[in-house]
Amino acid sequence: MSSFAPTVLKFEAFPDRNLTVILFKDVTNAKDVLDKLLARTLEPEVALVNPRPIQSLFALRLAAHKALASRERNALTTRTLHSELVYNLSASKHITEGLRRFGMDDASDVVLACRFDASDADAAAMLAMFPGAVPVNDVEDGMAALRDDALVKKYYKPGELECKEGIGSVEDAVMSRIGARDVL
């Protein structure tokens, strides 16, 4: 545990902000944590993401970028910056549906915990949030291993032609749906 270092994502457009990401496996207390989150008593405030339908770390970064942009402009759609991150992972404008699909549920055994501008104490608190769970060292590989391609397909509906070799990838399709959601 002591050798574990959380992944910190940076944003070119917001040089003074960052996102700390920790991927947990073998989570057993999802229900307790979720209850606290919903009661808004969870400290520190975090985004608890279901990693299964997430295509890649890049998709998470884009959703986080969008959340920061909305935050800076006082144009958040949801209640907090962290819930906005979860909502932004969705390709649809249906907020409840987005939070349900891309947020942790009470039976989750894997979770991607994210916090903007986390201090060392925050990161430690995040690690302590899921006692017994195992933080994954390489988030990118860990996410790829946990990804459920059928869920990605169901939630983002990438077209057959657009994912053909030479035209684009599933990741491209996911990016465009996250990035352009608000104008579609």
Partner 1 sequence: MTATAKRKASEVVDDAVPPTTTAEAATTTTTTTTTKVVDLIKNLGGYDNMISQGAEGRVFAVTFLGKPAIVKQRFEKTYRHPILDKKLTKSRLNMEARGMMRARKLGVITPTLYYVDTHQAAIYMERVDGASLKELIRAGAMTEEEMRDVGEEIGRVVAAMHDGGLIHGDLTTSNILLRARDQKVVVIDFGLAHNSIIPEDKGVDLYVLERAITVTHRSAAMFEHVMAAYKQHSRQWSASFNKFAEVRMRGRKRSMIG
Site string for partner 1, 27-46 (x = CB under 8 A): -----------------xx-
Strand 18-25 to strand 111-116: parallel, antiparallel, or no bridges (unpaired)? Answer: antiparallel
Q: Which stretch binds partner 1 (CB under 8 A): 63-71, 94-102, 104-112, 123-131?
A: 63-71
- DSSP assignment of 2-15: TT---EEEE-TT-T
Binders in 72-91 for partner 1, by CB under 8 A: 72-76, 79-81
Distance CA 51, CA 144 (A): 9
Q: Which of 7, 25, 69, 151 binds partner 1 (CB under 8 A)?
A: 69
Q: Are 170 and 55 in contact (CB under 8 A)?
A: yes
Q: E-strand spans in the chain?
A: 7-10, 18-25, 47-49, 111-116, 134-135
Q: Applying CB under 8 A, does 119 fall inside the site for partner 1?
A: yes
Distance CA 59, CA 176 (A): 10
Q: Which is nearer to partner 1, 24 or 116 (CB)?
A: 116
- Rounded to a whole number of angstroms, the distance between the first and last alpha carbons of the chain is 44
Q: Applying CB under 8 A, does 139 fall inside the site for partner 1?
A: no
Backbone angles phi, psi at 181, to 5 degrees: -50, -40
Q: Which of 23, 65, 103, 126 binds partner 1 (CB under 8 A)?
A: 65
Q: Applying CB under 8 A, does 154 fall inside the site for partner 1?
A: no
Q: Which is nearer to partner 1, 127 or 134 (CB)?
A: 127
Binding site for partner 1 (CB under 8 A): 11-17, 44-45, 58, 61-62, 65-66, 69, 71-76, 79-81, 116-119, 122, 159, 161-162, 164, 166-168, 172-173, 175-176, 179-180, 182-184
